Chains A and B, each alone.
Chain A
Amino acid sequence: MNRLQRAEHRLGWLLCAPAAAAMLLVTAYPILYALWLSLFRYDLRFPEHRKFVGFSNYTEVLTSEVWWQAMTNTLVITAISVAFELILGLALALLMHKAAWGRRTVRTAVLIPYAIITVVAALAWKFAFDPITGFVNALLDLEISWFTQRGPALFVIIFTEIWKTAPFMALLLLAGLTLIPDDLIKAARVDGANAWQRFSKVTLPLMMPTIGVALLFRTLDALRIFDSVYVQTRGAQDTETVSIVAYNTLIVRLNLGLGAAVAVLIFCTMMAIALLFLKSFGPAFARSPGGRP
């Protein structure tokens, strides 16, 4: 028995080893390397000046206006888009759950924003809002130069983000919705609850665990926002996000030391937000039969 057990352990590890090794090699090792690099002055244009500088890269980032502006932008984009996605996603999920007509068509259509390349979606909306090429201004009878001012530019970025990811949110929520027993809703109906009461008193509380998972997923995803900002403004008009700052520092300016400090700070921010989420939604995850094991 013991030998069999040991053989089972060994086979288990053996089968998981390639996947685990790949994940450690391409994520754990580079993040540790980034931690190490962030303690050096290391600019690829002047590699001979490489020098240990302790935490001064971090002081430089944390005292720079660019970083805080980017962090503010990232948080604003995340908060607004996730909030709207939740509302829109709930509405879409209810529609896909209950629609009396064209349910399959809707479910298929909703996958298009999810599957389309983010760069392409961002360009499509960029061209649509563009004052010269686009139809939006003409359609709404506006004369807004969307990409030369911070507010309108952020609006288009957030709009694109919501368009692209609300359907994903909806699909996650739909899965939670289908787990709710029909009998509960019927019982509430018999007891005289109206549609809004059935939704807010029965459906919504039962969906809390799913909503928590979906919010966590989407928040951490939105905090990484890069593609659409890069395509639509390249960070001009103070619309930089933290990912754009990291990319520009690392890949455009080739300042690996400073860029690594930015990267580590982004990583820590996301860890902190994830922990915050797990703390507030954790009990709900554990309670639910459909939550994570």
Chain B
Amino acid sequence: MKKPGNGNTIEYLFWVASSLVTVFYAVLPVIWIVSLSLKRPADLNDRRFFPVEVSFDNYRAVFADIQFPSALWNSAGIGLIATLLAVVLATFAAYAIVRLRFPGKNTLLAGALAIAMFPGVAIIGPLFELWRLLGLFDTWAGLILPYMTFTLPLAIWTLSAFFREIPWDLDKAARVDGATPFQAFRYVLAPLAAPGMFTSAILVFIFAWNDFLFAASLTSTNAARTVPAAIAFFTGISQYEQPTGSIAAASVVVTVPIVIMVLLFQRHIVAGLTAGAVKG
């Protein structure tokens, strides 16, 4: 915003330098894992930052194995379904919290906050036992349920913060102007509510995509093992091969979509993270 003004060149340079350092800080490990993944298997231990010669062998190896592609499929499917469910349930709850008066509203908000800080590790034992009894162990549903639950608080808080800002009376105005209830919803309210829902969807998806604890505890095979667990447990195609290169390649493959998402939806993510935490 501020242009370099009268004699403030030093201050300006200071901000430029700080910005560059920050960007470097954020992308350093990403560039490192990318260059590691592009090294030839023989060069993995050369202790250099950049590859001497670029090779795609590691990527070929990762996709030749069945573990990683199925983990990608599981992660995407489980993440998307959990996101959809969490956002739908949270939208109902947030609408009620913002628009309706009913006893127990504050209890629900406080309870949701408590769950947001709940240690997941405290319930993996009981869930492990229950899921085996119910046949949910090592299934998509077995992960979708905890992901949905643990992201509901975040989604409810974010959506409530967004919904508070919506001028709900526009709905009535549209009706007065002759719109049908459906039209009023479709053309007036839905577009106003969409950004909030979209933002919470991104945050919920990032949570599900990121989780390792539940994935490591409640899955055991390619049937439902997600990417973080697959990468953490990856042992290499044969025992003679060092898995570092493959792990690096797999890491890059799952990091690229996240980086693209961040670049595209930067505003939404920041708004969502801060809406839930500060505006309340």
Chain A residues with CB under 8 Å of chain B are 5, 8-13, 15-16, 18-20, 22-23, 25-27, 29-31, 33-34, 37, 44, 92, 95, 98-121, 123-125, 127-128, 132-135, 137-139, 163, 167-168, 171-172, 174-176, 179, 210, 213-214, 216-217, 220-221, 223-224, 226-227, 230-231, 242-243, 246-247, 250-251, 256, 259-260, 263-264, 266-267, 270, 274, 290-293
Contact = CB atoms under 8 A, between A and B. Distances in A.
Which of B92, B108, B277, B279: most chain A CB closer than 10 A? B277
Contacts of A114: 206, 269, 273
Which of B22, B89, B130, B278: most chain A CB closer than 10 A? B278
Contacts of A243: 119, 121, 213
Contacts of A120: 33, 228, 231, 251, 254-255
Given A30-B130, A120-B255, A247-B124, A92 B22 contact: yes
A98 B16 CA distance: 11
A95 B20 CA distance: 11
Given A116-B258, A127-B32, A101 B19 contact: yes
Nearest to A168: B273
A227 B89 contact: no
B22 A109 contact: yes
A10 to B, nearest CB: 8
Contacts of A138: 47-48
B19 A105 contact: yes
Given A117-B210, A174-B274, A12 B101 contact: yes
Given A22-B152, A251-B128, A117 B121 contact: no
Nearest 8 CB-CB pairings of A with B: A12-B102, A175-B274, A15-B96, A30-B123, A26-B149, A30-B126, A124-B29, A109-B26
B102 A172 contact: no
B120 interface: yes
B15 A100 contact: yes
Interface residues of B, number: 98
A236 to B, nearest CB: 15
Contacts of A125: 29
A95 B22 contact: yes
B4 interface: yes
A226 B212 contact: yes
Contacts of A168: 273
Nearest to A217: B277
B210 A247 contact: no
Nearest to A223: B119
Interface stretch (B53-61, B173-181, B191-199, B260-268): B260-268
B112 A23 contact: yes
B15 A95 contact: yes
Majority DSSP secondary structure for residues of B touching A: helix
Contacts of A104: 266
Given A106-B19, A210-B278, A217-B277, 13 more contacts: A15-B95, A105-B23, A106-B23, A108-B263, A172-B273, A174-B274, A226-B213, A230-B212, A230-B232, A243-B121, A256-B128, A263-B123, A292-B280
Contact of A112 (B4, B27, B97, B274): B27
A116 B104 CA distance: 37
9 contacts: A15-B93, A31-B126, A37-B126, A95-B18, A118-B210, A214-B277, A223-B119, A256-B129, A290-B279
A128 B47 CA distance: 9
Given A105-B19, A127-B33, A133 B244 contact: yes
A95 B209 CA distance: 29
A4 to B, nearest CB: 11
A137 to B, nearest CB: 7
B259 interface: yes
